């Protein structure tokens, strides 16, 4: 049995991201009885397991799609199982693979696709694509950067996202602000200031999140890792200025920065309960936020993350992967499910149900999506923002580097003696050490 190093273990245990919802429970789907198991032993359908992350509308989407797949044919039965956050799922997948009972198909958070591919846990998919002549040109190019490892295809885009800025437009209007939202960092700071009511409401609540940090670095024209992959590229103004802005807004009392493990959930709760007027969050939270806004009686808005030198965001979410080392029969069943889940029709369904990005060009151009964007333009914001989006780093140690950056920024948040420059310099020093091991 292949053994894996401590770096992978640390990375998969530690790398919890926002890219989607954060409910702590969900159900499971097993439609064996409904999917044609009465065909007899000779034609018994192949059973496989599919692991997914996140609850609420995202869990419903996964369960619904698995049910639809099982009812659409009688050759494969898929059992869907909820596994918590991406970090939870990654840790469990590693343990299950080592024990020889990994799920056949599972969600791989995009920055960790390289980690698992290079460790031999996931199956290279080119032969399946070529056999079925799958139209790879139909996948949105901006979402494909985290599907290839060393020029080989290991994953297909599934529930993909970008961070966007959610707004309480009711509050913006009451404050005399343009309900379309801030367009740049200066306006963002001004909005937060004018929306803050001391001891009642912050302009914005946010966690220290590596995904958001990557976005702010990108907005200043920066990158996270050098082109040769051997050093940190954020120890400069592009990486320091975001932290300086956050600390300034936090010290002024117009931004609430959570420091606990549930800071991301708390930021969403603040926004839902109207204790903050803005949040950064995944487009995957759109349908749930729309539901909450209606229940709480305020008008919801969405817009691009604000620009500095330019607009910019990383993509996020999960791709679907196949576990390596499966029997030919299980491989064919797993591929049939992956191909179906990432097809145009299922892409349209998942995007409409949750707010995740449609991953296929044909889906974006479909009459169904065009109608949705016309009726509910909030859905189109993340699609339009894709023009300024890019992949996340996929170095094997990057999940661990992301946690180091987060930890150093958090130290500066809680200790006023630590400057943004010092925090980022320390994070870069640690990142360089990992990249050059």
Q: CA geometry: angle at 162 spanning 88 and 299, to 5°?
A: 105
Tokens of residue 41, six digits: 């032993």
pLDDT at 243: 98
Q: Helices H, strands E: what count in the chain?
A: 18, 15
Rounded Cα distance between 257 and 145, Å, is 31
Residue with tokens 């990994």: 102
Give the total residue count for the chain: 437
Strands (DSSP E) found in 53-177: 76-82, 105-109, 148-149, 152-153, 156-161, 163-168
Low-confidence ranges of the chain (pLDDT < 50): 1-40
Identify which of 291, 266, 273 has the alpha carbon closest to the alpha carbon of residue 378: 291
Residue 180, CB half-sphere, CA atoms under 13 Å: how many?
4
Query: Quick one: which H or E segment has residue 129?
Result: helix 126-132
Q: Which of 125, 122, 124, 123 has its CA nearest to residue 94?
A: 122
- Strands 152-153 and 148-149, by their bridges, are antiparallel
Give buried/exposed letters for 370-389 (b at 16+ CB in 10 A, else e).
eebbeeeebbbbbbebbebb
- Residues contacting 95, CB < 8 A, separation 6+: none
Across the strands, what pairs with 280?
Answer: 165
The CATH code that applies to domain 163-314+397-435 is: 3.40.190.10
The reply to whether 163-314+397-435 shares the fold of 6-161+316-384 is yes
Task: Specify whether the CB–CB gap between 39 and 33 falls below 8 A.
Answer: no
CA dist., res. 427 & res. 404, Å (int): 6
CA-CA-CA-CA dihedral for 234, 235, 236, 239, to nearest 10: 50
DSSP state of 225: B
Q: What is the domain partition of the chain in residue ranges?
A: 6-161+316-384, 163-314+397-435
Residue 42: predicted pLDDT: 57
d(CA 408, CA 418): 9
Q: Quick check: 206 and 267 in contact, CB under 8 A?
A: yes
Based on C-alpha coordinates, what's the Rg of the chain? 22
According to the model, what pLDDT value does residue 387 have? 93
pTM as predicted:
0.85
Tokens at 107, concatenated:
């969600």
Q: Cβ(106)–Cβ(324) under 8 Å? A: no
Superfamily of domain 6-161+316-384: Periplasmic binding protein-like II (3.40.190.10)
């Amino acid at each position: 049995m292949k053994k894996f190093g401590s770096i992978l273990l640390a990375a998969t245990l530690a790398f919890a991201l926002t890219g989607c919802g954060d409910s702590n429970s969900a159900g499971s789907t097993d439609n064996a009885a409904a999917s044609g198991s009465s065909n007899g032993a000779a034609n018994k359908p192949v059973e496989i397991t599919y692991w997914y992350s996140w609850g609420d509308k995202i869990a419903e989407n996964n369960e619904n799609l698995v049910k639809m797949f099982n009812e659409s044919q009688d050759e494969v039965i898929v059992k869907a199982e909820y596994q918590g956050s991406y970090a939870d799922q990654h840790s469990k997948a590693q343990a299950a693979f080592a024990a020889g009972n990994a799920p056949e198909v599972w969600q791989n958070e995009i920055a960790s696709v390289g980690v698992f591919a290079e460790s031999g846990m996931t199956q290279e998919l080119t032969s399946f694509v070529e056999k079925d002549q799958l139209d790879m040109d139909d996948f949105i190019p901006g979402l494909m950067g985290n599907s290839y490892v060393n020029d080989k295809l290991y994953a297909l885009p599934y529930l993909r996202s970008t961070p966007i800025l959610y707004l309480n437009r009711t509050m913006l209007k009451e404050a005399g602000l343009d309900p379309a939202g801030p367009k740049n960092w200066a306006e963002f700071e001004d909005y937060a200031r004018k929306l803050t009511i001391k001891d009642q409401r912050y302009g914005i609540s946010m966690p220290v999140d590596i995904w958001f940090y990557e976005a702010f670095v990108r907005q200043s024209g920066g990158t996270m890792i050098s082109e040769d992959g051997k050093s940190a590229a954020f120890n400069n103004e592009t990486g320091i200025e975001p932290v300086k802005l956050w600390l300034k807004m936090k010290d002024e009392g117009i931004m609430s920065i959570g420091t606990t493990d549930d800071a991301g959930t708390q930021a969403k709760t603040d926004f839902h309960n109207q204790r903050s007027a803005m949040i950064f969050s995944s487009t995957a939270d759109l349908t749930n936020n729309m539901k909450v806004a209606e229940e709480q009686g305020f008008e919801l808005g969405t817009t691009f993350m604000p620009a500095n030198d330019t607009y910019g965001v990383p993509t996020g979410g999960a791709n679907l992967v196949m576990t390596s080392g499966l029997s030919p029969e299980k491989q064919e069943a797993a591929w049939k499910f992956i191909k179906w889940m990432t097809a145009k029709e299922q892409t349209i369904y998942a995007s409409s149900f949750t707010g995740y990005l449609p991953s296929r060009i044909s889906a974006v151009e479909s009459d169904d999506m065009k109608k949705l964007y016309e009726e509910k333009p909030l859905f189109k914001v993340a699609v339009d923002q894709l023009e300024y989006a890019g992949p996340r780093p996929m170095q094997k140690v990057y999940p661990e580097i992301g946690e180091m950056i987060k930890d150093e920024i958090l130290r500066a948040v809680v200790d006023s003696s630590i400057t943004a420059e010092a925090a980022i310099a320390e994070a870069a020093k640690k990142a360089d050490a990992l990249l050059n091991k």
